[in-house]
């Protein structure tokens, strides 16, 4: 009945997209969420930093910091991250993703310890762990941390994912969800091509970021790998529409608004039934094979390192803001 109504009246592209894909809001700005009615929301250090620099959120940061005097800095940071997560969960009916400090991306034990603390804070606030995804960079060490956490019933979202080998390793590890990045892959190939870049020829299903996510989605569905695929990091609405049918898509408020304000058909592009009929070969990666495959992919190794550096830099800025408030 709902599908028939959609055909009988002009419906914006965001509502049409929701017929194929679970829409997730990619923001720390929880006051924007309700208007888009996403099921889940994702955050990262950069988004939280951007939020606390706004006048409407600065008091929240001050409140959390002042409520935890003489507490180690990393613990105060976790309190801030979880406070944003708690506010988000008042708006979305599903899950929130909260990220482990990117500076721990190559330390499995420290990542596990930080995840335990984040989950403990949520549970202390009355939030079941099923409503939280712990975001971890998809390094080898991060994937092993996620594997251990999943065995404990702590669900993980593996982020900064740019390569097929990262996706294979995450599937083998049994992680709940991965966030393959579309826009940053697009950025890399566009920069490499320089003046030779043809935007029209590399749009839609031919976008290099879109092709990467589609390949991962088809692999998972072909082999019945239960890990959810959530496309992330979009530069334009065309990239989003080209991935209609993906399990989830996490989208910035600006692009959510653009889709909400646009009409036109949104056909399903990714389909598990179609993936079943594809000629796809299974892969298994041990640590040496993973490290070599990632190293052999210049784009993925460049963007993974760049992403970790950027998130770490923003985490350090948040640290400094908190330290100033503690004085």
Which is catalytic among the residues 18, 135, 221, 303?
A: 135
Is 135 a known active-site residue? yes
The three-state (H, E, C) secondary structure of the chain, written as one string: CHHHHHHHCCCCHHHHHCCCCEEEEECCCHHHHHHHCCCEEECCHHHHHHHHCCCCCHHHHHHHHHCCCCCCHHHHHHHHHHHHHHHHHCCCCCCEEEECCHHHCCCHHHHHHHHHHHHHHHHHCCCCHHHEEEEEECCHHHHHHHHHHHHCCCCEEEEEECCHHHHHHHHHHCCCEEEEECHHHHHHHHHHHHHHCCCCCCCHHHCHHHHHHHHHHHHHHHCCCCCEEEEECCCCHHHHHCCCCCCEEEECHHHHHHHHCCCCCCCCCCCHHHHHCCCCCCCCCCHHHHHHHHHHCHHHHHHHHHHHHHHHHHHHHHHHHHHHHHC
| Residue among 310, 315, 294, 283 nearest 139 (CA) | 294
Give the residue numbers marked as catalytic: 135
């Amino acid at each position: 009945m709902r599908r028939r109504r959609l055909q009988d009246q002009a419906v914006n592209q965001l509502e049409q997209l929701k017929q194929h894909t679970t829409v997730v809001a990619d923001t720390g700005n929880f006051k924007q969420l309700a208007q888009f009615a996403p099921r889940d929301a994702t955050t990262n250090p950069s988004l939280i930093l951007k939020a606390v620099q706004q006048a409407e959120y600065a008091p929240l940061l001050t409140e959390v910091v002042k409520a935890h005097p003489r507490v180690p800095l990393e613990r105060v940071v976790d309190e801030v991250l979880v406070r944003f997560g708690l506010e988000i969960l008042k708006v979305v009916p599903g899950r929130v993703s909260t990220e482990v400090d990117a500076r721990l991306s190559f330390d499995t034990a420290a990542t596990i310890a930080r995840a335990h603390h984040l989950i403990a804070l949520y549970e202390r606030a009355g939030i079941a762990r099923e409503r939280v995804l712990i975001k971890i960079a998809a390094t080898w060490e991060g994937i092993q941390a996620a594997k251990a956490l999943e065995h404990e019933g702590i669900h993980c979202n593996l982020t900064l994912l740019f390569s097929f080998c990262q996706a294979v390793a995450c599937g083998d590890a049994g992680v709940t969800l991965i966030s393959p990045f579309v826009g940053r892959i697009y950025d890399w190939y566009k920069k490499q091509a320089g003046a030779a870049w043809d935007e029209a020829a590399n749009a839609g299903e031919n976008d290099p970021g879109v092709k990467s996510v589609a390949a991962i989605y088809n692999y998972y569905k072909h082999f019945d790998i239960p890990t959810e695929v959530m496309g992330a990091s979009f530069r334009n609405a065309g990239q989003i529409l080209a991935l209609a049918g993906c399990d989830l898509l996490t989208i910035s408020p600006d692009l959510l608004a653009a889709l909400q304000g646009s009409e036109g058909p949104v056909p399903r592009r990714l389909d598990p039934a179609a993936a079943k009929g594809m000629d796809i070969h299974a892969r298994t990666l041990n640590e040496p094979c993973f490290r070599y495959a990632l190293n052999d992919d210049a784009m993925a190794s460049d963007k993974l390192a760049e992403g970790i550096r950027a998130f770490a830099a923003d985490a350090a800025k948040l640290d400094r803001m908190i330290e100033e408030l503690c004085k």
